[in-house]
């Protein structure tokens, strides 16, 4: 008896989220800031990757970051060491960020002061797939210790992402990880999706990943203002 009511409530929540996300996307576009959200399971390396990106791209670009976690401000403290504006969004029991959380977090920021805004979502491959955050680019991370079948188990998050990033590439041989099988599974779920591969530890693929972000930003700059 309660199922139809639950579906109705969920639809209402998602509709309201989409309205806020649309408002955010328009605001981001007018400010000229490239907004990139990172989604993954816990421990895939989102924060470590952001530390490297803040170091490299932060030399020539203005970067800010929002970090989502159920508890603690540990990740925000890690990123703040690199001198970029960082805010922690603590969600409590909520397993994802939503557009309203993002809107509240950026309300005191002058977005025109940033070239890039990174949003590190809560570690989860299920809930974040349903919530648009107004981002220009959503990247799903999958680390080599997680297994080659991750896209098959969690197809929705891959279908809502714009690119996939394989992390901890330096562990491929150690774990006997089948990189080709992972890429094949990603393409089965989302044909044509760009797949990048990095190891923050060794630096492998980092330049290519950062060039990918810069290229996407140049596309944003050339797009007409809404």
For residue 219, pLDDT beyond 90 = no
pLDDT tens readout for residues 108-123: 999 999 999 999 999 9
Residue 162, phi then psi, degrees to nearest 5: -95, -20
Write down the pLDDT at residue 11. 84
Percentage of the chain lying above the pLDDT 70 cut: 94
Scored b (16 or more CB within 10 A) or e, 11-43 reads eeeeeebeebbeebbeebbebebbbbbbbbbee
pLDDT tens readout for residues 43-71: 999 999 999 999 999 999 999 999 999 99
Predicted confidence band at 17 (pLDDT cuts at 50, 70, 90)? very high
pLDDT: which is higher, 225 or 180:
180
| Helix, strand, coil percent values for the chain (each to nearest 5) | 50, 15, 35
Write down the pLDDT at residue 226. 47
For residue 225, pLDDT beyond 80 = no
For residue 180, pLDDT beyond 90 = yes
Q: Which residue, 35, 37, 51, 42, is CA-closest to 198? A: 51
Strand order in the sheet with 63-69: 86-90, 63-69, 116-120, 34-39, 137-143, 163-167, 195-197
Q: How far apart are CA 57 and CA 211, in angstroms?
A: 10
- The full length of the chain comes to 226
Predicted confidence band at 218 (pLDDT cuts at 50, 70, 90)? confident
| CATH code, residues 3-222 | 3.40.50.300
pLDDT tens readout for residues 126-154: 999 999 999 999 999 999 999 999 999 99
pLDDT tens readout for residues 64-88: 999 999 999 999 999 999 999 999 9
| In the chain, beta strands by DSSP E | 34-39, 63-69, 86-90, 116-120, 137-143, 163-167, 195-197
């Amino acid at each position: 008896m309660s199922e139809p009511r639950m579906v109705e409530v969920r639809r209402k929540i998602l509709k309201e989220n989409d309205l806020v996300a649309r408002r955010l996307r328009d605001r981001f576009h007018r400010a000229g800031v490239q907004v990139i959200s990172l989604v993954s399971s816990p421990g895939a390396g989102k924060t470590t990757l952001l530390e490297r990106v803040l170091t490299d791209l932060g030399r020539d670009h203005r970067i800010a970051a929002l970090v989502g976690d159920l508890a603690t401000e540990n990740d925000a403290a890690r990123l703040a060491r690199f001198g970029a504006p960082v805010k922690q969004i603590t969600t409590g029991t909520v397993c994802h960020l939503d557009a309203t959380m993002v809107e509240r977090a950026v309300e005191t920021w002058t977005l025109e002061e940033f070239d890039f805004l990174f949003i590190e979502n809560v570690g989860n491959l299920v809930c974040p797939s349903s919530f648009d955050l107004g981002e220009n680019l959503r990247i799903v991370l999958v680390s080599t210790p997680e297994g080659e079948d991750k896209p098959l188990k969690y197809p929705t998050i891959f279908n809502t992402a714009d690119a996939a990033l394989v992390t901890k590439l330096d562990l491929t041989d150690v774990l006997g990880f089948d990189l080709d099988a992972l890429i094949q599974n990603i393409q089965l779920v989302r044909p044509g999706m760009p797949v990048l591969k990095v190891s923050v530890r060794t630096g492998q693929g980092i330049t290519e990943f950062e060039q990918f972000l810069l290229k996407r930003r140049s596309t944003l700059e050339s797009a007409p203002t809404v």
